[in-house]
Structures are given as C-alpha cells and as structure tokens.
Structure 1
Amino acid sequence: MIINTIAATDGSEAQTLQDHPRFEDLLLRTLPALRQYALALTRNRADADDLLQNAVANALRARDSYAPGTNFKAWMSCILRNRFLSDIRRRRETVSVEDAPAELFARPASQDGHMALLELRRAMGRLRPDHRLALVMITVQGMSYEEASAALGVPVGTVKCRVFRARKLLHDWLLDDAAPRITHAGRAGIAGADDGRDGKRMVTTPRC
C-alpha cells in the first residue's frame, strides 16, 4: 500500500522523515489529488496505483530536494508526471483511451449520454499528449495555471495556450461528430479531408 511505502523507512531514512515532519504530512494530504492525476494519466486503476506507488517512492528518495514552504503539490505532480513519461518510454506503448474511466469526463448518463462519453474519450485520445496533459491538470486535477506551469516546466502562457487549443479541438471534433455523416463516395472526392481512421479529419495547430 502507498501509506505503507511512506511509513516503511528505516535507519537514516526514518530519521530524515522525523527531521521533516511536514513532508510526510504534505504527502499524505496530497495523495487523493495525486491518485486522481495518476488515474487521468493512465486511464486504468491498477496502472494508476502502480504509478502513484512508484512516484511516492521517488519522492521519498528525493525529499531532501524539496524546499519547505514551496508548492508541494506542484513538486509531487512533476515527479508523478516524469515517472509516467519514463514508464511510457520504457514500455514504448501508449494506453488506450478506451480504458478511460467514465467518472473522469462525465456523470452517469442515459444511452445517449453514454455514446457522447465514448465520443469524448476518443476525442481526448486524438489530442497531442502535451495538450492532453495540460487539460487534465487544469480540468480534472483542478490545478491552477501556475501549479501546472511548475509541474510541466513550461511558462504559464504555454499552459494556457495548450488548454485553450485542447478545448477548441474537443469542441470542434464533437460538433463534427454530431453533424450528418458524409457518405464514403462523397468523402472520396474531398482531397485531404480524411485521415483514414473512422472518417475523422485531422486538425493541426501551431506549437504551444
């Protein structure tokens, strides 16, 4: 368990925690938000628990690098994000957006609502990873732009740009999905309008 990881220190590690009681308290208080963030990143509860466990272990090893009085949540979010990206690079795979838990995006709904949720999941999966990360931090984890900026290591303006573009793309894609479908025959005559995957149009945006 994660709490056991926090408590399972011995020798010099236990003494270090005693020297910094606020670190352990901050870590315990931040766990719920970190768990939500891990779930938003991995879209799988078991993977989220593993990610959080590993991030906590990393934080305990690096706790001396935390400056008391600074933003602990942003510091921990950065550790968790870096661990997630490191795991992805090692596995050389991405997590399917179809595994995203419904509670991240919508309330329990009717059949129509369920279909809308599936469309939202697919649309989230089409976002650029850096745009999706910024959107998750702000809208799912509830971080401020300043906190997300510190966690991502980019300027506040860049975070705002990524969130804005992510929201705009989701809005445009979902409106496109709600519009009447173009027939395959009609679509074949539109050069460059199809990316070959479920008739979805690819949208490119400037870097930010």
Structure 2
Amino acid sequence: MVPARLGGHAATVYISGQIGPSVPTRYRWPPMIALRDSIVDEIPHLRRYALRLAHDADAAEDLVQDCIERALRREHQWDPATRLRPWLFRIEHNLYVSARRRRTPENRGARLPADLVAPASTPEAGLDLLAVHRALRRIPPEQAETLQLVTLHGLDYRTAADILGIPIGTVRSRISRGRAALRGLLGMDTTAA
C-alpha cells in the first residue's frame, strides 16, 4: 500500500491501482487515467471540429484546450458506457456557442493547417479539397457544422442531433440542404443523390 493525497483527501492506494474506501467516488484513479488516455486519442478529431467551428487555427487550438480542460474537470459526468467523442464534441460545441454569444463579430479568415490537409495523389485533388473547404464556408454555418459531424467525423444522425441539441429531423434537413448547396457551389449536377 502507498499513502497518497488526492485533492486534499487522504487515500490509501493499493499497488494494483485500486483505491481504498476512504477516497470519494470522484477521485477513482483507473477511470480517470483511462479517460485521459482516451481524450488524447480524440485530440485530432477535436482539432478538426474546432477548426470548422472557429475558422481560425489559433482560436481552434484555444477551443480544444478549453474542451479538454472542461472534460477533465467534469469527468464524473461522463458515462463510460457511452462513446467519448460525441460527449467531447458536445462540450466543444457548447463552449463555442457560449463564446460566440459573448464576442463581437470579427474577421474569420480561415486557413487549412498543413496537418489537416489530406495528402493528394495529384495537384487537382488538393485543389478539389480547397474548393470544398471554401464552399463549406459559403453555406449556412448550421448546415456546414451538421455536414461536418456526419461526413467528416462519421457520426450517425442521432449522435449529431444530440451534440447539436436539435431534433433528428432537423439534422436530416440540414444535411440534405447542405449537400444540395455544396453541389451547386461546386458546379456539380444538382440532380445527383
């Protein structure tokens, strides 16, 4: 046994990683360590989503940091039986919406960071990616955000609806209208599915 102090509480930590009964539930080490490791795995996804929300690499990094900080402070609210990514996206989305309500409009010129640009087999493929990125910035933000959650991050409609706090029918509608708008902006056949 190894004595330890956690947040001002005395605890007895067993070598096997289990904590003695004197530790409050919120200070259990193994789930917290597992959560931290899982959050580290989600950072690239959080960065992509934050960049789409913030349209600025520096603001996106701040948003990711705030999201991670809040997730760690509220780790007791996460249900390990659920998927972590939607919970983190929900935190990040709520932080962004709260910050947007507090700030004044500003110039939101976004650049794709080099680590987020997909490797292109041809120069034309890189131009196509840039065209899609520009088109996404021209459609309504709620459509672009919903499209990103479903297409880029591969979330199902129900999970995207939970993250955005909207009905699933609204997600379907935004996806449909967003795809149609993108096809129009990219000069694609608008009758395609």
Do both proteins adopt the same fold according to a TM-score greater than 0.5, normalized to the shorter chain? yes
**Overall identity of the aligned pairs, in %:** 30
Gaps of 5+ in 1: 1-9, 177-208
Q: Please, what TM-score do these two structures have when normalized by structure 1?
A: 0.65
Seen in structure 2, the aligned counterparts of structure 1 residues 157 and 105 have a Cα distance that, compared at 3 Å, is farther
Q: Please, what TM-score do these two structures have when normalized by structure 2?
A: 0.70
Structure 1 residue 37: Cα displacement = 1.5
Specify which structure has the higher proportion of helix.
Answer: 1
Distance 1:106 1:160 in 2: 30
Aligned residue identity for 2:160:
A
Report 1 or 2 for greater relative contact order, CA contacts < 8 Å, sequence distance ≥ 6: 1
Distance 1:35 1:82 in 2: 15
Q: Which residue of 1 aligns with 2:183?
A: 171
Seen in structure 2, the aligned counterparts of structure 1 residues 120 and 57 have a Cα distance that, compared at 3 Å, is same
- 1:120–1:174 CA contact under 8 A, matched in 2: yes
Q: Which aligned pairs between 1:78-157 and structure 2 lie closer than 5 A?
A: 78-93=90-105, 96=108, 98-101=110-113, 103=116, 107=120, 110=123, 114=127, 119-157=131-169
Seen in structure 2, the aligned counterparts of structure 1 residues 113 and 75 have a Cα distance that, compared at 3 Å, is closer
Distance 2:118 2:140 in 1: 18
Structure 1 residue 154: Cα displacement = 1.9
> Of the candidates 2, 7, 23, which is equivalent to residue 11 of structure 1?
7
Q: Give the alignment's Cα RMSD to 1 decimal.
A: 3.2
Distance 1:112 1:79 in 2: 33
- 2:57–2:110 CA contact under 8 A, matched in 1: no
> Of the candidates 59, 77, 82, which is equivalent to residue 71 of structure 2?
59
- 1:40–1:104 CA contact under 8 A, matched in 2: no
Seen in structure 2, the aligned counterparts of structure 1 residues 140 and 12 have a Cα distance that, compared at 3 Å, is farther
Distance 2:8 2:93 in 1: 28
Q: Which residue of 1 aligns with 2:17?
A: none
Seen in structure 2, the aligned counterparts of structure 1 residues 108 and 49 have a Cα distance that, compared at 3 Å, is farther
